Amino acid sequence: MGERQAAAAVEKGSGPKQLFWIWKIELDLEGESFEEVECTVDGWTNEVIRLEWLHAKASSERWHEETKLLKAERQRVVKSYQWLKKDWLRRKEKWTQEQGVPKGAVAFAARTTATFNILETRAAMHLTELLALS
């Protein structure tokens, strides 16, 4: 079966199935009493629950870390747009005062300043929404 066929089979839900490790465990319980079997099963059950808890805890920690990274990244985006807006505004003001600078360059700087202002506003709005969710 090729990669495309395997991907199509997985999408349809008829792809290769693998049993989890818990279902592959072979216990040699011959000759043991009911209490010993029950004790063994309880021990395995506790181990499975402990492992499941550890997986859930690790998943939760990854989620919190990713959330923190996204918030920090969003803040950097807002600050980047602020800096770019100020930089283009400075250029526009400088070019307006200088002689010999084409009007098209001044207009481009003004339009770019306005663009970064809109981007900064939208990024700040999205940051506010993100912070409200957490």
Residue 6: partners with Cβ closer than 8 Å, 6 or more residues away: 15, 16
The 8-class DSSP code of residue 40 comes to H
Domain boundaries defined on the chain: 31-133
pLDDT tens sequence across 69-98: 988 998 999 999 999 999 999 999 999 999
Residues 85/75, Cβ–Cβ less than 8 Å: no
Residue 67 contacts by C-beta under 8 Å, 6 or more apart in sequence? 134
Q: What does the buried/exposed string (b/e) look like for 79-110 if buried means 16 or more CB atoms within 10 Å of the residue's CB?
A: eebbebbeebbebbeebeeeeeeeeeebeebb
Q: Is pTM, for the whole model, over 0.85?
A: no
Which segments of the chain have a pLDDT < 70?
1-2, 10, 13-17, 22, 27-31, 134
